[in-house]
């Protein structure tokens, strides 16, 4: 499997508000995805052509204390948190180990779908990464259909921009695993460009979302 950008995670404090924001921003309704059992979150999804946008929010039906859902529920507004790349997890773990980057996983994760079914996939995370959301995590969809295909189209992904104080180190890691994404020196931030029916849309991280760790 050739490594590729799988999706971008856009966190909002309320999914209802996030779905309204998406429709206003892109002129297309996001599709409700489902609940991440045990993580305190639920999501909505939009295709970006070669990748997709995950709008993730707290799930009020789950206990939130100590979960990722609790962290994003405290946000004052939405923003990009991180990004994800698809690759055979054993291969990317080996490549990162050669660069002295430790990883956690693979971890089996699941989401309950709107039809009552269960989707399962595996995730690999950089351990104690100093790059936080500027460094992607990794996914293997196993037997699941990639969400970029069946969901409403918000637009077409054009580019990803990354800024980080340790730009040279992060750039070396990304290049070594086959992700040719430019990294510039600066405060930690992510930004993506999307073209859709309303023209170009830029989504960015915020100071709050840049400080969030998904692990």
Q: Which of 61-65, 79-83, 106-110, 187-191 has the lowest mean pLDDT?
A: 106-110
Structure tokens at 85: 């790349």
Residue 20 has a pLDDT of 97
| Percent of the chain whose predicted confidence (pLDDT) is above 70 | 98
Q: What is the domain partition of the chain in residue ranges? A: 4-210
The pTM of the full predicted model, rounded to 2 decimals, is 0.92
Longest dimension (CA), the chain: 45
Q: Flag whether pLDDT at 215 surpasses 70.
A: no
| pLDDT band for position 10 (cuts 50, 70, 90) | very high
Residue 146 has a pLDDT of 80
Q: What is the mean pLDDT of the chain?
A: 91
Q: What is the CATH number of domain 4-210?
A: 3.10.180.10
Please name which of 9, 23, 24, 5 lies closest in space to residue 55, comparing C-alpha atoms.
9
Nearest-angstrom CA–CA distance, 176 and 94: 11
| Percent of the chain whose predicted confidence (pLDDT) is above 90 | 71
pLDDT in tens, 133-148: 999 999 998 887 887 8
Q: Flag whether pLDDT at 1 surpasses 60.
A: no
- Give strand ranges (E) for the chain: 4-11, 31-36, 41-47, 52-58, 79-86, 103-113, 118-126, 137-140, 156-164, 183-185, 189-196, 199-204
- Is the pLDDT higher at 97 or at 143? 97
Q: Flag whether pLDDT at 76 surpasses 70.
A: yes
pLDDT in tens, 35-56: 888 889 999 999 999 999 999 9
Question: Following CA atoms 113, 196, 189, 160 in sequence, which dihedral angle do they give, to the nearest 10 degrees?
Answer: 90
Contact in structure between 31 and 46 (CB atoms under 8 Å): yes
108 conformational bin, left if phi > 0, alpha if psi -120 to 50, beta if neither = beta
Q: What is the 8-class DSSP label of residue 66?
A: T
């Amino acid at each position: 499997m050739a490594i590729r950008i799988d999706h971008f995670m856009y966190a909002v404090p309320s999914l209802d508000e996030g779905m309204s924001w998406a429709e206003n921003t892109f002129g297309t309704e996001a599709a409700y995805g489902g609940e991440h059992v045990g993580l305190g979150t639920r999501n909505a999804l939009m295709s970006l052509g070669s990748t997709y946008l995950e709008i993730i929010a707290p799930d009020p039906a789950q206990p939130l204390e100590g979960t990722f859902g609790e962290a994003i529920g405290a946000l004052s507004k939405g923003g990009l948190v991180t990004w994800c790349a698809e690759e055979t997890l054993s291969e990317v773990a080996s490549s990162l180990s050669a660069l002295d980057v430790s990883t956690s996983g693979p971890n089996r994760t699941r989401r309950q779908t709107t039809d009552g079914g269960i989707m399962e996939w595996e995730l690999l995370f950089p351990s104690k990464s100093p790059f936080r959301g500027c460094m992607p995590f990794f996914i293997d969809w196993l037997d699941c259909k990639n969400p970029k295909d069946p969901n409403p189209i918000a637009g077409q992904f054009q580019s990803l921009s990354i800024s980080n104080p340790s730009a040279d180190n992060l750039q070396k890691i990304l290049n070594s695993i086959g992700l040719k994404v430019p990294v510039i020196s600066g405060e930690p931030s992510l930004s993506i460009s999307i073209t859709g029916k309303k023209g170009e849309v830029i989504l960015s991280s915020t100071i709050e979302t840049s400080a969030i760790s998904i692990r």
